[in-house]
Amino acid sequence: SKPSRHEIYTSALHHADRAPYSMLFSERKKTDKVDISEGLRSYICSHYSDSIANSHLDALTSLNQLREDVRAISDKSDVAKDLLFRYYTQLSLLSFRFPFAESSVRVQFVWYDVYKNKKATNFSIHFERASVLYNYAATLSQLAASQQKSSDDGIKRANAYFQAAAGAFQGVRDIVAEHPECSQAMDLVPEALQMLTTLMLAQAQECFYLKAARDKMKDAIISKLVAQVGDYYEQVASLLNGPALKSLVDRTWHAQAEILVLHYKSLAQVKGCAGLPEAMKYGEQISRLRLALGFATEAKKKLGRGTNLEIKEAVEHNHALVDKTLMLAEKDNDTIYHDPVPPDMKLDAIEKKPIVKPTPLPDTAAVEDPFSTIVPYQVQEAAVRYAETRDNMVRSEQRALADLNELARATLSSMNLPGAIEALEAPTGIPPALQSKINEVRNDRGMQLVTELMETLSTLSTEDTRMLKSALVELDKEEKDDDALRAAHGGRWQRTPSHTLTGTLRQEGAKFSGNLEHAIKSDSFVAKKFQEHSAYIMALQTGEGEVLKLLPANDLITGTTLEDVINLKRYLGELDALVARREALRTELSEMSNNDNIASKLLAQQHRSHEDVFEEELRKYNDIKSQLRTNATTQESLLEAVRVENERFVAGRQQDSIAQRREQVLQALSNAHKAYTELKANLREGIQFYTNFQEILSQFERKCKDFIFARDQEKQDLLEQLSAPPPQAPQPSAQAQPARPPSYSPQQPPAQFYPTAPSPVSQAPSAPPYPGVPPRYHPPAPPSAPSPYPPHPVPPRPHRLMPPPSWGPPCPPPPHPNPPRPPPPPPP
C-alpha cells in the first residue's frame, strides 16, 4: 500500500536518523631525530655554570627520550594523545626559561607538513611547540572520527573529541599568530589552522544534531542545529577555495565540504517546514521545499566517483524524499488549499544555533618543571624591579616607625620621664627598673661588646672600600692603555674604545660608591651616638656602686605621693605597649619582605603585565600598613594625655635641687640604656650590610677582571696582526679562509647590575659577563638581611643572561687566570 501524506512528511522530517558518513580528520606531521639536550646543556654551561648543567643531565636525557617517544607514535589512542600533550607542556615550560634561537640555544627543529610532505626547519622552540600541538590536535580528530556513531556513547565521545581538537588547532593558530616564523610550514599558515578549527566544530555540531534527532527533539530546534552545521561547512568550503589552500589541500576535501554545505542547507529548509501544515501555511511549506530541492539538486550534481559512498547515499536519499514531498504538497495546495506561495527571498532565514565551541587546552599548572631552579633573565629582571618597589615601600614604613620612636623618646625626655617617676618611687638607692638595665648591660659586657662591633664594622667598611677602588683603578688602567695604543697606531687600531664598553660597569661602580658613602655616613651617626652615651653605658656596666655615685639620694621629697602618678604611669605603660606592638609590626614587615620572592609567580603568569602582578602582590602589605597608621594615631593621643597628666604631676610636687639632679641622672641612665639597645641593633645591621655588600663587590670585581682579561686577549691578537708581515697576494685557485672571530664582541649587550643580598630573587648564577671570556661559576647571593643598613641600602639588580658568541663558549670552562676570591666568613 502507498504511504499516506503524513507518513511521507514524517519520513522527510526525520530522515536524519540515518547513520552518518565517515568524518574527516587530519594526519600527524612527521619529524626527524633532533638532539635537544646538547644545545640546552651548552647554553646552561655558558650562561649559568657547568655544575648546574651537570645537575640537570637526567632532565636533559629524559627530554630527549620524550621527543623520541613522540616521534615514534604510530597509533591513534589516548596514550598517544597524552604523550604528545606531555611533551608540548615541557616545551612550553622550556620556552619560558631558555631563548631558543640560532644565536643562543641552538637546536634546529625539523618537521614535514601533512599536505605535501615538504621539509621545514627552524631554530624557534615555538615552531616545535606548534608542530607538537598540531599532532595533538590531529590525534584528537582521529579519535573522534574513529568513534562508532551508531551508539549514543560513541556520538558523545566523538563530539567531545572534535571540540577538544578544535581547541587544540586554535591553540596552534594562537602560537603562530604570536610567532610568525612558525608559518613557514605550509600546514601552519593561519588559513589552514582556521579551516581545521572550523571543520572540527562543524563535525562536533553534526554529532550534536544526530543525537538530538535520535532523542526526537522538536524539529524547530533541530532546524537551528542543522542550519549551524551548514554554516560551519560553508566557512570551511570558503577557506578551502581560498588562494592559500586551493592548491594545497586534497581536492576530495573541497568536494566533500561543498556537497555538505548544500546538503545541510537543504535539510535545514526541510526541518523548517515542521508545523507549517498544522498552521495552514501551505504556501510557505511549498516555498521552503522548493528551496530545499534546489539545494539537494545542486548537491546531487556535485557527486562524483570519488565521493564518499555514505555521503552519496545520504544526498540521494534526501533528494528523493524532498522531491516526493514537494510533489504531494504542491498537488494538495493546487487542489485543496490554494495558498499563495511566497518567493524564497521573502522567507525568514532559518535561525542558526551553535552548541559547540573549542575546548580549552588542559591545565598545566600542576605539571612538574625539571628546570624550575633555573630562573630566566626576563623574570629575574622583573622580580628585581618588584623587589626595588617593595623595598622602597618597606624603607618608607621603617623611616616612619623610626620617626615615631624618636618623637616618643624626645617627648618623654623633655618631660624627664620616666626618671621623675622613678625618683618618686625610689627616693634613695636604685629603682627596680634601673636595676634590670644594669643587669642587662653588665651581663652583655656592654662597652666591650659595642667596641668590638664597631671595630668589626670599621674593618668591613675599609675592605669594601678597597675592593671597589681596586676594581675601578683596574678599569682606568685598561682605558689608559687602550688610549695609548690607539694614539700610537692611529687608524690601524681598529677596535671599540674602552670608554664605550665600560659605561655600564662605571655606572655600577658609581652606584656602589654612593651606597658606600651613605653607609659610612650612617656609621658616623652610630659612632656619635656611642660617644654621647658611653659614660653612662660604662656606669651601667660597672654596676650598682658606680651608679649610686652618680645618683644622689633625696629623703626630703614631699608634696606628691605615688597615688598622684597612677594615671601618668598607666599612660606610660600604654605607650610602652604601643611601642612594643610597633616593633612587632616592624619585624613582621621585614620578615614578610625578606620572604617575598615572586619569581615563580611571574614565571607562571607571563601572560599578565608585570605591573598588574606587582600591584596584586603589594596589596598583601596593606594590613600591616593600616595597623601602623592606627598605631601612629594612638601614639599622638597618648603623648597628649601624658603631657596633660605630667603638668599636673609637676604642679603638685615640691622639689629641691637634689631631687632635680636625681631625676636628671635617672633619665640619663634610661636614655643610655635605650641608646645601648639601639647601638647593638644598628651595628649588627651595619655588619650584615657590609658582609652582604662584600659579596656584591666581589662579583663586580670579577666582572671587571673578566672584561680586562677579554680586552687583553683581544689586544694581543690585534698587536700580532699589526706586527705580522703583509700577506702575499692570493693565488687565483686559493680559497679564502674565514676571518677569525674576535675574542671580544662589542656588539653584545652590556651586563646589568648584580643582585644585592637584601633582595635575592634567584639562586641562578650569572652569565659570563662578556663574550669570549671563559664562563665561570658565580655563587648565589647570600640570604637577605632582616632589613637594609639604614638609611640607604643597595638596590638589587639582576645578572644579565647574555647570549653567547656565535662560535660558542667552551663547556666546561677552562680555569681562569683570576680565580674568584671566596668571601670572608661572617663575624661571630
pLDDT over 50 (residue 276) = yes
How far, in Å, CA of 18 to CA of 567, rounded?
96
Q: Is the pLDDT of residue 773 over 70?
A: no
How far apart, in Å, are the Cα atoms of 429 and each of 246, 265, 417, 561, 668? 106, 108, 18, 18, 16
Instruction: Select from 660, 658, 666, 672 the least CA-distant residue to 434.
Output: 666
Phi, psi values for residue 300, rounded to 5°:
-65, -35
Rounded to an integer, the average pLDDT of 199-221 is 92
If one compares 514 and 551, the residue with the highest pLDDT of the two is 514
What pLDDT score was predicted for residue 648? 76
More confident residue, 305 or 809: 305
Enumerate the β-bridge partners of residue 105.
Answer: 100
Least confident of 436-445, 455-464, 810-819: 810-819
For the ranges 1-5, 72-76, 202-206, 580-584, which has the lowest average pLDDT?
A: 1-5
> Can you give 677-743 as a three-state secondary structure string?
HHHHHHHHHHHHHHHHHHHHHHHHHHHHHHHHHHHHHHHHHHHHHHHCCCCCCCCCCCCCCCCCCCC
Q: What is the mean pLDDT of residues 203-226?
A: 92
Per-residue model confidence (pLDDT) at position 827? 45
Give me the amino acid identity at 434: L
**Contact of 350 with 269, CB cutoff 8 Å:** yes
Residue 811 has a pLDDT of: 43
Distance, CA of 178 to CA of 47 (rounded, Å):
26
pLDDT-derived band at 656 (thresholds 50, 70, 90) equals: low
Return the pLDDT at 122: 92
User: Per-residue confidence at 388, pLDDT binned at 50, 70, 90?
Assistant: confident
Residue 711 confidence (pLDDT): 87
pLDDT digits (tens, 9 = 90+) for 155-180: 999 999 999 999 999 999 999 999 99
Inform me whether the pLDDT recorded for 209 exceeds 50.
yes
> In this model, does residue 35 exceed pLDDT 70?
yes
Q: What is the pLDDT of residue 763?
A: 37
User: What does the pLDDT average to over 722-749?
Assistant: 48
Which of 9-18, 331-340, 686-695 has the least mean pLDDT?
9-18
Contact present, 440 and 667 (Cβ < 8 Å) = no
Average confidence (pLDDT) over 445-474: 93
Place of cell 629575574: 380
CA dist 201 and 356 (Å) reads 7
Over range 582-604, report the average pLDDT.
86
On the question of pLDDT at 389 being above 60, the answer is yes
pLDDT reading at 706 higher than 60: yes
Largest CA distance in the chain: 136
Closest CA to 688 of 795, 822, 789, 796: 789
pLDDT at 484: 92
Q: What is the mean pLDDT of residues 402-427?
A: 77
554 in Cβ contact with 744 (< 8 Å) = no
User: Could you give the angle at the alpha carbon of 155 between the alpha carbons of 150 and 156, nearest 5°?
Assistant: 145
Interior CA angle at 805 toward 711 and 722, to 5°?
A: 40
Per-residue pLDDT band at 374 (split at 50, 70, 90): confident
- Whether the per-residue pLDDT at 15 is higher than 60: the answer is no
Distances (CA, A) of 706 to 207, 300, 791, 825: 67, 78, 32, 25
Cα angle: 821, vertex 827, 828; to 5 degrees: 140
Q: Is the pLDDT score of 590 beyond 80? A: yes
| Residue of 17 and 336 predicted with greater confidence | 336
Q: From CA 758, how far away is CA 237, in angstroms rounded?
A: 62
Q: What is the DSSP string of 276-336?
A: TTTTT-HHHHHHHHHHHHHHHHHHHHT--TTS-HHHHHHHHHHHHHHHHHHHHHHHHIIII
**Cβ atoms of 540 and 628 closer than 8 Å:** no
Q: What is the Cα–Cα distance from 482 to 479, expressed in whole angstroms?
A: 5
In this prediction, residue 372 carries a pLDDT of 82
**Residue 758: pLDDT above 70?**
no
Q: How far apart are CA 752 and CA 762, in angstroms?
A: 15
The CA distance from 737 to 726, in Å, is: 16
Task: Find the mean pLDDT for residues 358-379.
Answer: 84
CA distance 79 to 66: 13
247-269 confidence digits (pLDDT tens): 999 999 999 999 999 999 999 99
Whole-angstrom distance, CA of residue 265 vs CA of residue 294: 10
Please enumerate in sequence order all residues whose Cβ is within 8 A of that of 391, keeping only pairs 6 or more positions apart, or say none.
593, 758, 759, 788, 793, 795, 796
Q: Report pLDDT for 802.
A: 36
Q: Which three cell numbers stand for residue 594?
A: 625578606
**Per-residue cell: 153:** 556513547
Secondary structure of residue 654 in the 3-state scheme: strand
Reduced 3-state DSSP string for 87-150: HHHHHHHHHHHCCECCCCECCCEEEECCCCCCEEEECCHHHHHHHHHHHHHHHHHHHHHCCCCC
Least confident of 233-242, 421-430, 432-441: 421-430
Q: pLDDT band at residue 42, thresholds of 50, 70 and 90?
A: confident
Rounded CA-CA distance 244/192 in Å is 8
Q: Which of 551, 552, 553, 526 is nearest to 536 (CA)?
A: 551
Q: CA nearest 290: which of 302, 278, 282, 280?
A: 282
> Which residues on adjacent β-strands are paired with residue 109?
122
How many Cβ atoms from other residues are within 10 Å of residue 774's Cβ? 18
CA distances from 494 to 489, 490, 718 (A): 9, 9, 8
| % of the chain beyond a pLDDT of 70 | 81
pLDDT in tens, 322-362: 999 999 999 999 999 999 999 989 999 999 999 999 999 99
Is 760 within 8 Å of 781 (Cβ atoms)?
yes
| Average pLDDT score over the chain | 81
What tens digit of pLDDT does each residue of 80-128 get?
999 999 999 999 999 888 888 877 788 999 999 999 999 999 999 999 9
**Cis status of the peptide bond prior to 812, with omega within 30 of 0:** yes
Is 776's pLDDT higher than 70?
no
Place of cell 633619665: 667
Instruction: Check whether 768 has a pLDDT greater than 50.
Output: no
